[in-house]
Structure 1
Amino acid sequence: MEQKTLANWQREAAALSIEGRAFIDGEYRPASTTHRFDCRSPIDGGLLTQVADCGAPEVDLAVRAARHAFDAGVWAGLNPRVRKAILLRWAALMREHQDELALLETLDVGKPIADTTTVDVPGAIYCIEWFAEAIDKVGGEVVPADRHLVGLVTREPVGVVAAIVPWNFPLLMASWKFAPALAAGNSVVLKPSEKAPLTALRIAQLAHDAGVPAGVFNVLPGTGEPGKLLALHRDVDCVAFTGSTQVGKLIMQYAGQSNLKRVWLELGGKSPNIVMPDCPDLERAARSAAGAIFYNMGEMCTAGSRLLVHREIKDVFIDGLIAAARRYVPGNPLDPATSMGAIVDPAQLARVLDYIEAGRAEATLLHGGAQVLRESGGYYVEPTVFDVATPDAKIAREEIFGPVLSVITFDTIDEAVRLANDSDYGLAAAVWTSNLTTAHDVARRLRAGTVWVNGYDEGGDMNFPFGGYRQSGNGRDKSLHALEKYTELKSTLIRLR
């Protein structure tokens, strides 16, 4: 099939019909107060549509619909093979509308269309298919017990799941929540970020078209209040949240203040990327280090924002790093040739620029550091690299969520591990070495939920659980371990005589 051009995508964008209403109990509905907020594209600051700003009435309505559907068994009570077939139909419909969904994602958050068409949307479809296929293959246990007993351990859906998801990978991160939750038989109320609500609202109709019963999958856009209300709601059984550590702590507090609902948190990161002097391929490692922080404009919780380089190879490695960074040129995200898109909104742009200014005062700027393409009306920042003399520098400790890299020098393996673990976070890490012993030893010592050896951000496979240590959260997305998070364990003992 012929690849679409910038002009093709611009024409499709101009003709796109965008839905901004909430999706509750099987249909689109405006907010009861008629309050709406502007949804603007970071590409050029232009208005895409107005979106329902949901509040307490919509939250109560959606939770009530979800609870009714769950109690009636219209989803949880289906034969697992039937639920599987419906989810697979949903994934197939999303594939039919793949370009539309990719275009919505690019317009909404400024991602390059080359990424949304090859990573974000296909990844979300794959996630739904993966968990759909797991539905009729995961069973319970028959437990060894006294001869007069039959002991069973079964998993049951937890009930109503509130999924509160971020704006950096809106559709993909949402699928990591709702796919296992639905596969387990739960009803879901999805709260997308107000910065990126459009794909969530579109796939709700596709879910309904595929046969997901009314009330089982609901979407509540809003500017913040719906998330708090869902976390406080006494008829929500579980809340799954991906976002900042600060908000995650509040979500946990709200759960404790209400019904002690299950809380699964995937939070921030300040991930270390360690390059040893025996790195097997410095050029590939430099390209990977650039991708680890500049892909998706650095708006990634796993971003390799701390690059730890051995003093012996530092100068030559930085030369390769800067050369790789130059390949990330901010441009129109609708152009398939664009490698780096726009920062999501003016607030995030200001945050990134503030950190860059802090970096100028406490470190040495090696590359980038400027806002660009101002004439477009959009929000673009160059890939930025700092040489940081002290690991206590603000830019080396705090999550920026932008294309800003801190390079830190070390002299020994022990120093590298100490620097890597000296963080409030523990989401991801990497080490580059030719020594098998060093690889295993450092990987064991790094306090992170995912460790890559001689790579970064490798493996989009759903078999690997995703989550972190410490203040990076307590939950796990992906894999059968995620499926477990949306179920309750039940022990049943049957007396035979």
Structure 2
Amino acid sequence: METRVTDQSAPFASPQFINPDTPRLLLIDGQWRPSASGKTFSTSDPSTGRIVASIAEGSERDVDMAVAAARRAFEGAWRKFKPFERQRLLLRLADLVDEHFEELATIETIDMGAPITRTRGGRQRVVGLIRFYAGLATAIHGETIENSIAGEVFSYTLKEPVGVVGAIVPWNSPIGLGIWKIAPALATGCTVVLKPAEQASLSLLRLGELICEAGFPDGVFNVVTGFGNVGAALSAHPDVNKITFTGSTETGQAIIRASAGNVKRLSLELGGKSPDIVFADADIEAAALGAANAVFVNSGQMCIAGSRLYVEHGIYDEFVARVAEYGANMRVGAPLDPDTQMGPLVSGEQLDRVTGYMAAGVREGARAVTGGARLHGAAWSQGFFVPPTVFAGVKDSMSIAREEIFGPVISAMPFTDIDDVIHRANDTAFGLGSGVWTRDVGKAHRVSAAIQSGTVWVNCYLPLDPAVPFGGYKMSGYGRESGIHHVDEFLNVKSVFLKTA
């Protein structure tokens, strides 16, 4: 395992925004304020354990105030904004995010541990998402419908914003996932109360400052930081009209139960255990690199990670060895070092989860071709580091092949028959992403049609585009993000019948 260890303060200085002596506050009704209880909590750099910031700990009372502010804005000033005006503000926000993106990326790297090359590399996607939804703000329209009613009755539809949106964002990619929820809500004329993950709130708090600077009216965008009780209060709040959530399936199920009180609209992007299928006729070099990156990117902390690797029997040993070699040669270390390819896990809790699955894999009979346990030594002693890990000899029944690990762990399994591998790939409660590697176009189409997942990548893995819908099947959730239909998730359709004579 090759590692680089650098001073976390170089070559990038910590942004002024990160200061443990200056608590970051809640954003409610256009004002930055402490929590109602006055409580704060600390957030730390997962590569060193160093406390980097103190953050206001919100409560149910703060949620009530934020929702009330969002409701006043929705029914007041914001309701009067025309589509062009909403578009103008979003485009201004896109310019500000672009201008400050280096700072946002550095904050996110310090806060959750993703390598700086990854966070900085998200500029096109993040800025592009805002501009994409800004374009859709002026493209929302109803329909005129020729009906079959006797007499002169004219019918048409209106599309109207659902109202107050609660957006709950995980820690593994705060800015990208946050924008994915905030921008379409604002484009449609909704107002937002955002709950960031407690493990990584800082970049979204900085985004809140930029949203204020862009000129959005007070109360249109609010941020309440804190723990699970904040998300639970949003999910159950009787004056929240919709929840948009990315996170674990278990939390998604709790949100479904909490939403029953006022039958909220829900968009849920939940867990995954994605199959990545490699046929013997694939470009082996490209497929090995793609299969490794499908899991090792962001330390495997992705719901779309291709963690179940199915390899055709004739190339299984060679292919697994190539993927393992790629993982073994990755540079694991300080995330602010531009040469680092994989940083730490986000927290000690996540470290215990991932190493627990690694130990379970060995107990159940799998063999670690590379990795398989926590990294030890001075270079990693203060952080939450594990190596890229590839298990061979895995059976479909093993916990590492069935359960979402959310770490850099690949379970490699051979197959001999196309129908069998399709069946095995679909034998899961999840259905978020999947991959297929083959030079045979017919085979690619056949497998893509048969796989039960919201996205299939063929001869690639992980590309996402604002114009292309994304979402899950089965227990990976429902609703779609991106694409022209994403805004419909934030709109009600009203039918009007007008008797003209």
1:407-426 correspondence to structure 2 within 5 Å: 407-426=412-431
CA displacement at 1:390 relative to structure 2: 1.5
Mapped partners of 2:193, 2:424: distance in 1: 40
- From 71, 76, 79, the equivalent of 2:79 is 76
Give 1:14 shift.
6.7
The alpha-carbon deviation at position 16 of structure 1 amounts to: 4.5
Q: 2:490 aligns to what?
A: 486
Q: After TM superposition, give the deviation of residue 230 of structure 1 in Å.
A: 0.5
- Tell me which of 388, 408, 415 is aligned to 1:383: 388
Alignment-mate amino acid for residue 368 of structure 1: G
2:133 to 125, 128, 131: 131
Name the residue aligned to 1:339. Answer: 341
Of stretches 317-326 and 95-104 in structure 1, the one that deviates more from structure 2 is 317-326
Q: Which amino acid aligns with 1:38?
A: S
CA–CA distance in structure 2, aligned partners of residues 103 and 238 of structure 1: 31
* 2:355 counterpart residue number: 353
Contact 2:309 2:413 (8 Å CA) reproduced: yes
Residue 398 (structure 2) aligned to one of 393, 400, 407: 393
- Residue number in structure 1 paired with 2:266: 263
Partner Cα distance (1:374, 1:267) in 2 = 35
Corresponding residue for residue 301 of structure 1: 303
What's the CA shift for 1:204?
Answer: 0.8
Query: Which of 20, 26, 35 is the matching residue for 2:24?
Result: 20
Point out where structure 2 has 5 or more consecutive residues left out of the alignment. 1-5
- Give yes or no for the alignment of 1:495 onto 2:496: no
User: Which deviates further from its counterpart, 326-335 or 220-229?
Assistant: 326-335
Task: Read off the aligned partner of 2:101 and give its amino acid letter.
Answer: Q
CA contact (8 A) 2:109 2:335 kept: yes
Q: Is the 8 A contact 1:373 1:379 kept in 2?
A: no
- By how many angstroms is 1:10 displaced? 5.1
Match of 2:276 among 258, 273, 276: 273
Quick one: distance in 2 between partners of 1:127 and 1:373? 40
Match of 1:224 among 228, 231, 240: 228
State yes or no: 1:475 paired with 2:479. Answer: yes
Contact 2:143–2:156 (CA under 8 A) maintained in structure 1 = yes
The residue type equivalent to 1:277 in the other structure is: A
Matched residue SS, 1:380: coil
Contact persistence 1:161–1:187 (CA under 8 A): yes
The separation in 2 between residues aligned to 1:422 and 1:370, in whole angstroms, is 28
CA pair 42-7 structure 1, distance change in 2 beyond 3 A: closer
Matches within 5 A, 1:194-233: 194-233=198-237
1:139-177, Cα deviation, whole Å (9 max, x unpaired): 221111357232211210000000011000111111111
State the TM-score, normalized to the length of structure 1.
0.95
Query: For 1:415, what is the secondary structure of its paired residue?
Result: helix
Name the stretch that deviates more: 228-237 or 362-371.
Answer: 362-371
SS in structure 2 at match of 1:352: helix
Aligned partners of 1:399 and 1:75: how far apart in 2?
41
Q: Which consecutive unaligned segments of at least 5 residues does structure 1 have? A: none
Matching residue of 1:116: 119
Moved more, 486-495 or 392-401: 486-495
1:453 is displaced (CA, Å) by: 1.2
SS in structure 2 of the partner of residue 437 of structure 1: helix
Separation in structure 1 between the aligned mates of residue 179 and residue 286 of structure 2, nearest angstrom: 31
**In the TM superposition, what are the counterparts of 1:30-45 in structure 2 within 5 Å?**
30-45=34-49
Partner letter of residue 352 of structure 1? V
Q: Alpha carbons of 1:209 and 1:404: their partners in 2 closer, same or farther (altered >3 Å)?
A: same
Structure 1 residues 20 and 127, CA, compared in 2 at 3 Å: closer, same or farther? same
TM-score (norm 2): 0.95
- What is the CA distance between 1:44 and its match in structure 2? 0.4
**CA root-mean-square deviation:** 1.5
Tell me if the contact between 2:18 and 2:53 (Cα under 8 Å) persists in the aligned partners.
no
Amino acid at match of 2:398: A
Conserved? CA contact 2:321–2:369, under 8 Å: no
Aligned length in residues: 488
